[in-house]
Structure 1
Amino acid sequence: MKSDGPAANDGLRLTPFRGLRYVPERVGSLAAVTSPPYDVVVRPDGLHHLESADPHNIVRLILPQAATPEDRHRKAADTLARWLAEGVLAPDPEPALYVYEQRHGDVLQRGVIGALALTEPAEGVVLPHEDVMADIVADRAALMRTTDANLEPLLFTYVGDGDATGTTAVIEETVQRPPLLATTTEDGFSHRLWSLTEPAALARVDADLAGRQALIADGHHRWATYLRLRAEHRRPGPWSYGLVLLVDTARYPLRVRAIHRLLHHLPTAKALDALGDSFRVRHLNSPLPRALGELARAAAEGNAYLLAGDGAFHLVDRPDPELLASTVRTDRPEAWRTLDATVLHSTLLDHLWRIPDGPEQIAYIHDAQAAVTQAERHGGTAVLMHPVREEVVRALAREGVTMPRKSTSFGPKPATGLVLRSLTLE
């Protein structure tokens, strides 16, 4: 780790660190101790599944369970300390960047994991595109503060030169060597990790990233957490950096998926009744994949949503233009005003359904089937969304316009648990 703090406006600076990794001989399998990012785990079902997969599953650090927030954070810190003392986790011998590969069928993603010098979003180096909630940032900050660790990498993208030069060349040279680790998780993705310590290779990465900017693909709340903790530690040091995975989307394009809403206390019949004549509603007698296909066709023409929870699917589209004009703020670009997420929150949630955007009322679920199952099980409503195109996200981010939170899900997301960053090692 460099001892000096990050300089402003000098592009992306990815710094080597001593990765903290599971010792394979001390766990059942590397796949069994990994997890999706904390906000993708469907609780409680997914949480219990991961906890039972292995007693050392990383979910015990990123989503510790206890009666109070303070107890949860302290439990995570105590668990991390115990695993280190027991040799379940151990630091690598020298600082490194880590080349990371994910593969599933025809999906191949490669990038570099490192400690990114933290810059203010306004400086144009890191581009957020979604709003965040203060309570989530406060919780993540308390967890990082108590554990003195970055437990999972954020997913950032940048647009490289599209050919095997610079960082991409270093990556593709590195993957010819035997990896530090290789595992396949239950979702079918294979994961491989290499350490990058050679000074010449590190210098090539450093030179290539200088002057580039990154889009936050996944991890807005954790990015806001990094910035908060950096502000608490004004002297240059470990808190001046945060753990990220950087992917060149010119070489390895990400997939963009929607994040669905689960309205806990709104039955589907009441949700539909509240729409009145403001939207067109069509009832679909079809399985979920076909219903999602109908949603995609409708979304190509305008705002569209798929409601579920009563055992059927209801396609909601063609909103009343006058209603949109009176409920959607006009001081934003048209691309923002016409987003499905914008209309959902401004027109449906705020105006027609009058549901506040809080965890007691709304859950954000990445998997469509999981959202439908939860809605049917508990008598709520699942609002299934169609994904936003990446070029729209990047264009709005460059204008400094943030989308409603949880508007997009970029992937594949890095598996949590393959490499951690302990700030006490730096």
Structure 2
Amino acid sequence: MVEIAPFKGITYNKEKVDINRVVAPPYDIISKEEQEELYKKSEYNVVRLVLGKEYSADSEENNRYARAAGFFREWMDKGIFRKSEENCIYVYEEDYNIKGKSKKMRGFIALLKLEDYGHGVMRHEKTLSKPKEDRLKLMKNCNANFDQIFLLYSEPEKKIDEILDKNASKKPDYEVKYNDVVHRLWTISNGDDIDEIVKTMKPKPLFIADGHHRYETALNYRNYMREKHSDFKGNEFFNYMMVQFNNMDERLSILPTYRLIHSIPEMNIDVMLGKIKEFFDVEKIDLPEKKSEKIVDMLKEKKNKKVFALYH
């Protein structure tokens, strides 16, 4: 059973900063060049929290994680950030274009009580230790979630969507355009709306669309904090994490991605293909040099089937 909860969110104070200059993309897609650009945009850009710079003189006491904690405290003290006075759920919306078509994705942000995999939350990929170590250091220093993971649920009845649509009919609390995507945020403080969302979500299985490393990091942080506070009751902040929830509907766009596999010891393509053939129909294609567009054409012909292209 899924347990979600409203929370007192911390947001930028629009009277103190230009919102357009303090936002940043997800930390794991920020290049060194973009990091530098974001630093120059504003001394309060969130990149300083989610992906601070590293320096040759860094130490155990002075590093990107400690600096992030310092910035966080400073910005709270200076009123750059402000904390909601009441528990809320937040409507989050993106306007984006895909293949020349305008689309709108709308979901909500709330707290999710952390559970081990298989107890309401399902994963679809394995994780690596290094990214989890990185995010855990940030959480231990800052004791905060600076971004949310992305979970999917299925509710064909669209009760929650109706609540979100109603609350999104007013002027958004925040609106910003970044990389051709318009982001909007609204606050839901109505108790009846919050209760209905919480109740409707309880029996729903959740699927991680993006955020496996951060979810497992949150579990590790929870366990770390429980060891420090052996008298924990289960309702402490470290038992929850901030999550974006989206209904599985036509507003979502699922795109293929490319995976590059390298440095496999004793790689034998024939053995691998033999194992693949146990589960898939395999068609070998001989391609002239620099004719990779032929693969694209063939995939288009099979658009109603689930097809993977493998190149070696």
TM-score bin (small chain): 0.7 to 0.9
What is the CA-CA distance between 1:225 and the residue it aligns to?
0.6
Partner of 2:143: 148
Q: Which residue of 2 aligns with 1:107?
A: 103
- AA paired with 2:7? F
Give the direction of change, closer, same or farther, for the CA distance of 1:285–1:81 in structure 2 (3 Å limit).
Answer: same
2:137 is equivalent to residue 138 of structure 1: no
Structure 2 residue aligned with 1:363: none
Q: Partner of 2:152: helix, strand, or coil?
A: strand
1-side partners of 2:299 and 2:40: how far apart?
37
Distance 1:301 1:150, change over 3 A: closer
Per-residue deviation at 1:258? Answer: 1.0
Query: Residue 7 of structure 2 contacts residue 88 of structure 2 at CA under 8 Å; is this kept in 1?
Result: yes
SS at the partner of 2:158? Answer: coil
3-state SS in 1 of match to 2:127: coil
Distance in 1 (CA, whole Å) between partners of 2:40 and 2:197 is: 39
Q: Is the 8 A contact 1:298 1:304 kept in 2?
A: no
Q: Which residue in the other structure is 1:228 paired with? A: 220
User: Which consecutive unaligned segments of at least 5 residues does structure 1 have?
Assistant: 1-9, 266-273, 306-315, 318-426
TM-score (norm: length of structure 1): 0.60
| Matched-pair contact (CA < 8 Å) for 1:196–1:202 | yes
- Give me the CA root mean square deviation: 2.9
* TM-score normalised to structure 2 length: 0.80
Q: Deviations over 1:287-307 (max 9, x none)?
A: x9x5783584599686424xx
- Is contact 1:160–1:251 with CA below 8 Å preserved after alignment? no
Secondary structure of the structure 1 residue equivalent to 2:255: strand
Contact 2:22 2:46 in 1 (8 A): yes
Counterpart of 1:177 in structure 2 is 170
Rounded Cα–Cα distance in structure 1 between residues aligned with 2:259 and 2:177: 27
Is 1:282 aligned to 2:281, yes or no?
no
CA distance change for structure 1 residues 173 and 303 in 2, over 3 Å: closer, same or farther? Answer: closer
Aligned residues: 281
SS at match of 2:28: coil
Q: Deviations over 1:350-406 (max 9, x none)?
A: xxxxxxxxxxxxxxxxxxxxxxxxxxxxxxxxxxxxxxxxxxxxxxxxxxxxxxxxx
Q: Cα offset for 1:91?
A: 1.1
1:167-207 deviation line (CA, Å, top 9, x unaligned)? 1111011111222111111x211111111111110111011
Task: Give 1:116's aligned amino acid.
Answer: L
* Pairing 1:9-408 to 2, within 5 Å after superposition: 10=1, 12-27=2-17, 29-41=18-30, 43-67=31-55, 68=58, 70=60, 71-105=63-97, 106-123=102-119, 125-161=120-156, 163-165=157-159, 167-185=160-178, 187-234=179-226, 235=232, 236=234, 237-250=236-249, 252-261=251-260, 282=287, 285=290, 293-294=296-297, 296-297=299-300, 303-305=308-310, 316=311
More displaced stretch, 244-253 vs 197-206: 244-253
Q: Within 2, Cα distance between the matches of 1:292 and 1:62?
A: 38
Q: Match of 1:143, as an amino acid?
A: L
SS at match of 1:122: coil
Name 1:416's counterpart in structure 2: none
Q: Aligned in 2, Cα 1:87/1:262: closer, same or farther, shift over 3 Å?
A: farther
Contact 1:69–1:139 (CA under 8 A) maintained in structure 2: no
Matched residues in 2 for 1:78 and 1:283: separation? 57
Aligned counterpart, 1:321: none
Q: Decide whether the 8 Å contact of 1:121 with 1:128 is kept in 2.
A: yes
Counterparts of 1:14 and 1:54, CA distance in 2: 34
The gaps in structure 2 that reach 5 residues or longer are: 227-231, 274-283
- Give the AA of the match of 1:250: D
Percent identity of equivalent pairs:
22
Residue deviations 1:13-44, cap 9 Å, x none? 221111111112322x3232111211122x22
Question: How far has the Cα of 1:253 moved from its partner?
Answer: 2.4
- Is the contact made by 2:94 and 2:182 (CA closer than 8 Å) also made in structure 1? yes
Contact 2:68 2:142 in 1 (8 A): yes
Q: Distance in 2 between matches of 1:90 and 1:291?
A: 54
Change (3 A) 1:121 1:294: same
**2-side partners of 1:119 and 1:30: how far apart?**
34
Give CA deviations for 1:112-171 in whole Å, capped at 9, x if unaligned: 101111111132x0001111111211211110110111010101011112x432x11110
